Chains A and B, each alone.
Chain A
Amino acid sequence: MQASRLSRQVPAGDGVLTILHGLELEIASGDSVAILGASGSGKSTLLGLLAGLDLPTSGEVHINGVNLFALDEDGRAALRGRLIGFVFQSFQLLPALTALENVMLPLELAGAASAREMALTVLHRVGLGERLHHYPKHLSGGEQQRVAIARAFATQPKLLLADEPTGNLDSATGARIIDLLFELNREQGTTLVLVTHDAELAARCGRRLRLVDGHLVESS
């Protein structure tokens, strides 16, 4: 995955606010990368652009050689369905669907033949085999995030983007979620990009990048 000259400006008051400023980034397949930075530095904005959830002011993002922003909204959605998993800080499970159905959803949307079996496998893998038919509102925060992770991994994406996945969880639960992410990253060979404030968590990643003034700087 490669991002070049990535800029994002938003109108702010009377002027424009430049969040990302000609940012360059290249991540090798199978790598794990932590993105650090002060609150408001543009980490979520960057992650959204990498997933094609938002449009840049200028610049390109290539995933597996495909230019994300040369596609239309439907094209990007289809590409996400095949290649990218996304984990939100606030889980974003669909409240109308049970845990199992939430995990089945991306598989079904992609037209997978054995969506149910695949979803069951992943849910058992994240330790929620007993909570298949529970609705999100009946699950704790940690359980909801585990469903969200199962949902992200269900399609066996090449790239998993997680925006402060433990931000809404206590530290013990957060640690278990992180373990789970790294295990799945190893098992499936998924490229992992994590936004986090947690230094310990960042330390477990292969690379650490800090977002400063709209640029990424490698940090140790």
Chain B
Amino acid sequence: MNLLRLSWRMLLREWRAGELHALTFALLIAVGGVTAVGFFTDRVNQALTTEASQLLAADLVLAADHEVSGVFLSEARRRGMTPVRILTFPSMVLSATGSQLAEIKAVAPGYPLRGELRIQSPQGERNAEGIPEPGTVWLDQRLLAQLQIAPGDSLELGAARFRVGAVLSFEPDRGGDMFSIAPRLMMNAQDLPATALIQPGSRVSYRTLLAGTPREIAAFRAWAAPRLSRGEKLEGVSDGRPEIRSALERGGKFLNLAALTSLILAAVAIVLSARRFLERHLDGCAVMRCTGASQSQVFRLYLYQFLCLGVLASLAGCLLGYGAQWVLARQLGGLIAASLPAPSWLPLAYGLLTGLATLLGFALPFLQRLKRVPPLWVLRRELGRPQRLNLAGFAAGVAALLAMLLWQAGEIRLGLYVLAGLAAVVVGALLLTHALIWLLAPLRRGVGVTWRYGLASLVRRRHASASQVVALGLGLTALLLLTLVRGDLLHSWQSTLPLHAPNRFVINIQPDQVQPLQSFLASRGMASAALFPMVRGRLLAINGRAVSAADYEEDRTRRLVEREFNLSWAEQLQGDNQIVAGRWWGKNHAATAQWSVEEGIARNLGIRLGDKLTYQVAGQSFSATVTSLRKVDWDSFHVNFFVIATPALLQGYPASYITAFYLPAGDEALLDGMVKAFPNLTVIDVAALMNQVRAMMERIVSTVEFVFLFTLAAGLMALYAAIAATREERMVEAAVMRTLGASGRQLLLSQLAEFILIGLLAGIVSALAATGLGYALATRVFHLPYQLNPWLWVAALAAGVLGVTLAGWLGTRGVLHQPPLQTLGQLG
């Protein structure tokens, strides 16, 4: 207890003396950065999830092909949620001038729970407040055109008559099952009985929408999942459209990457500061040992100081982080979401834990070394150096950091990549620095006095130099990754959804319409649109063994097994597909019977190259071998198929065709012409959906850019700590050189010589590391093509040399204008 009080008093004394400012500052910034990132990404992630919820119009949907049991509804109400039910079914709609098959959606008040309905009124497009009044219906533009009616006209639906209340221009959950969507009619569920359309055996899809906090949703999900019966399923946010899901996942990864990097930089800053603390306290420790303190007393004395400091600095850092994220949210709030959800308290715990674990993990080895200082140190420094630092002592710190990384990454692979990258940079920097020093050392006889002195200092401070190169190398690597590589990654991500990606899909094309439609499109300058055949088929068996939904875990996979899905045939491999196993058959083997399967679905269904798949099409079943696995870019919005057959295998079965093309805004007249010429075609407009995806990408990019600022601050801290570590030594030496008659220019040059060498080394290390890590991240984590960027090298070397030189110059500039004895007096 006495020791604790003494520690506290010493801490206060050292605080006043300014001994601990640098260390505390580093820790505070680090924890502040990490928690700000934590708080903010927490809120952003919540907001992004909310955004994705809009595509469901809810947070969770209970979908069924029958009316679900009331138990689900009452349980949801009991948990404080307000379920909203919607029904969709196909039906003919009649007007005075025509009739058309439409997808009817009957909604109850409250719909949509997430996102907005938008309607077109003579004044323009606006958010709909509420749902169609009883007795009125809203139609999309396509259905209005097909029925040749306008708002205010009336139409017949089943046994009832309705007035057209408005033009429906956007519904958040339209994206559901893209290829089955006919034109839309939205009605009030109250009017359903009057239509008498819902009869036993009608094809109706029942959806119960739920919204709530993530915790409520998760709890309800856990409760409901085991109670589902056949034909019922839960759709969560991440079960939505795959495009949205992959956008969300990538966005999350980018944010985590930024947070991870600031954590590593924090550790670097702490190591460097703690090392300096050790150097400065050797004397005091030796004196204490001389006056009778035991090793363990000395150790605990410093341990308690560090514990107190760690708790206080981490708390202050958390406050800083909390404050910073409010500023952040205020600046970016409107950009990310109308209003960001309140942050959870988890990041606070994370900040505290991070601060303490990082400080102790990386400072303990130094404290241990401190306690081993022999009392003789007081008298004869050249004899009494405590033994070299034990690198194994950092194992705990590295383990703590690894745990933090994994927690933050939420994914082992990303965490491991970052850690492996870190280890590679450290080892690489050490090897490279020592190798270069070894190579440079002999040069020292052949150069002028300033370079000789710079070189000599670099060589003598070999270990300090190496740790500076490591720190700067890591900092620069992070900055490079986050500026150039991040730019490259984001660019290639955004370019996966090119500006002119197809935004209209046309389905239901009959075989005899293929030629006429192609010439119709060609005559209007759309020659490039390719038509693909589609055959509905159901997977019966793999290698003769019948497949059953019960064999699979994942909802999506089960659905694939339960239902028919679209197969296609082709002679040539589509341009954006890539064979990852086996061989594509090509023109010459088009007459054989083979399958090619998309690798993702193959993995889910357990299909391997060489397996025999049995399909049932139009009542007939047949088998063929899987001769290739394909990689498909689902983000591209191109027409793609999970399973493709050789033409010979499928050509004989009833097929319809599908095509997709980019229709520039304002060219909608072309569609009217097409629908007139080919009335049976169904056009699906995905432009709105694509705009949603694009908007989301842009928001993610800007949040990542903001989070990057914190990483930058952490990087600057590491840089500061690295320079500060040898600053005093440099100043003493500069003062001595001053005494010997060195001019300001000579002092500056000899310092610069050393800084330039360190900066150059750090630049080389970081360019290598950023290239390697960027490649690994692109190909392994983000699954994007990676292009070597020569600017990375230019930037790395320039940033290394300029950054270090500037920082070093700022740090030692004072010496130039101060009488040498004052420098020596202040320091010694």
Kindly count the residue-residue contacts between A and B in the assembled complex, taking CB atoms under 8 Å apart. 83
For residue B743, which residue of chain A has the nearest CB?
A: A74
Which of A19-27, A51-59, A197-205 lies on the face that meets chain B? A51-59
Residues of chain A lying within 8 A (CB to CB) of residue B461: 96
Given contacts A86-B740, A94-B733, A109-B449, 15 further A-B contacts (CB under 8 A): A48-B821, A53-B819, A53-B820, A54-B822, A73-B738, A73-B818, A77-B741, A78-B743, A79-B741, A81-B742, A96-B453, A96-B456, A109-B737, A109-B740, A151-B740
For residue A47, which residue of chain B has the nearest CB?
A: B821
How close is A95's CB to chain B, nearest CB, in angstroms?
Answer: 6
What separation, in Å, do the CA atoms of A77 and B822 have in the docked complex? 15
Interface contact A106-B456, CB-CB below 8 Å: no
Interface contact B738-A77, CB-CB below 8 Å: yes
Q: Which of A73, A96, A101, A105 contacts B740 (CB 8 A)?
A: A105
Interface contact B816-A73, CB-CB below 8 Å: yes
Interface contact B739-A105, CB-CB below 8 Å: no
Chain A residues bordering chain B, tally (CB within 8 A)? 31
**A54-B821, A73-B817 known; A80-B740 Cβ under 8 A:** yes
What separation, in Å, do the CA atoms of A193 and B703 have in the docked complex? 68
Scan A100-124; emit 1 where CB is below 8 A from any B CB, else 0. 0100011011100000000000000
How close is B824's CB to chain A, nearest CB, in angstroms?
Answer: 8
What separation, in Å, do the CA atoms of A151 and B736 have in the docked complex? 12
**A77-B742, A96-B459, A151-B740 known; A101-B816 Cβ under 8 A:** no
Within 33-83 of A, Cβ neighbours of B (below 8 Å) are at 48, 51-55, 73-74, 77-82
Within 417-465 of B, Cβ neighbours of A (below 8 Å) are at 448-449, 452-453, 456-457, 459-461
How close is A19's CB to chain B, nearest CB, in angstroms?
Answer: 12
Interface contact B382-A137, CB-CB below 8 Å: yes
Residues of chain A lying within 8 A (CB to CB) of residue B822: 54
Q: Which of B457, B740, B820, B821 contacts A106 (CB 8 A)?
A: B740
Interface contact A97-B743, CB-CB below 8 Å: no
Scan B781-823; emit 1 where CB is below 8 A from any A CB, else 0. 0000000000000000000000000000000000011111110
How close is A27's CB to chain B, nearest CB, in angstroms?
Answer: 20
Residues of chain A lying within 8 A (CB to CB) of residue B737: 94, 105, 109
Residues of chain A lying within 8 A (CB to CB) of residue B821: 48, 53-54
What separation, in Å, do the CA atoms of A155 and B456 have in the docked complex? 22
Residues of chain B lying within 8 A (CB to CB) of residue A53: 738-739, 819-821
How close is B386's CB to chain A, nearest CB, in angstroms?
Answer: 15
Residues of chain B lying within 8 A (CB to CB) of residue A188: none
What separation, in Å, do the CA atoms of A52 and B820 have in the docked complex? 9
Residues of chain A lying within 8 A (CB to CB) of residue B146: none
- Is B295 part of the contact surface with A, judged by Cβ < 8 Å? no
Residues of chain B lying within 8 A (CB to CB) of residue A101: 452, 456
Scan B729-747; emit 1 where CB is below 8 A from any A CB, else 0. 0001100111111111110
- Is A92 part of the contact surface with B, judged by Cβ < 8 Å? yes
What separation, in Å, do the CA atoms of A78 and B822 have in the docked complex? 18
**A96-B459, A96-B461 known; A109-B741 Cβ under 8 A:** yes
What separation, in Å, do the CA atoms of A95 and B816 have in the docked complex? 21
Interface contact B742-A109, CB-CB below 8 Å: yes
Residues of chain A lying within 8 A (CB to CB) of residue B743: 74, 77-78, 109
Interface contact A110-B741, CB-CB below 8 Å: yes
What separation, in Å, do the CA atoms of A74 and B744 have in the docked complex? 6
List residues of chain A with CB under 8 Å of any chain B CB: 48, 51-55, 73-74, 77-82, 86, 90, 92, 94-97, 101, 105-106, 108-110, 135, 137, 151, 155
Residues of chain B lying within 8 A (CB to CB) of residue A80: 739-741
Greatest chain A CB density within 10 A among B457, B732, B736 is at B736
Residues of chain A lying within 8 A (CB to CB) of residue B744: 73-74, 77
Greatest chain B CB density within 10 A among A52, A79, A95, A96 is at A96
Residues of chain A lying within 8 A (CB to CB) of residue B824: 92
For residue B736, which residue of chain A has the nearest CB?
A: A92
For residue B449, which residue of chain A has the nearest CB?
A: A108
> Which 4 A-B pairs have CB atoms at the shortest separation, nearest pair first?
A81-B741, A96-B460, A108-B449, A53-B821
Residues of chain A lying within 8 A (CB to CB) of residue B736: 92, 94
How close is A175's CB to chain B, nearest CB, in angstroms?
Answer: 21
What separation, in Å, do the CA atoms of A11 and B744 have in the docked complex? 28
What separation, in Å, do the CA atoms of A2 and B743 have in the docked complex? 24
What separation, in Å, do the CA atoms of A77 and B739 have in the docked complex? 7
How close is A53's CB to chain B, nearest CB, in angstroms?
Answer: 4
Scan B20-47; emit 1 where CB is below 8 A from any A CB, else 0. 0000000000000000000000000000
How close is B180's CB to chain A, nearest CB, in angstroms?
Answer: 77
Residues of chain A lying within 8 A (CB to CB) of residue B457: 96
What separation, in Å, do the CA atoms of A51 and B742 have in the docked complex? 14
Residues of chain A lying within 8 A (CB to CB) of residue B740: 80-81, 86, 105-106, 109, 151
Scan B455-487; emit 1 where CB is below 8 A from any A CB, else 0. 011011100000000000000000000000000
Sample of 5 A–B contacts (CB below 8 Å): A77-B741, A79-B741, A81-B740, A81-B741, A94-B736
Residues of chain B lying within 8 A (CB to CB) of residue A109: 449, 737, 740-743, 746
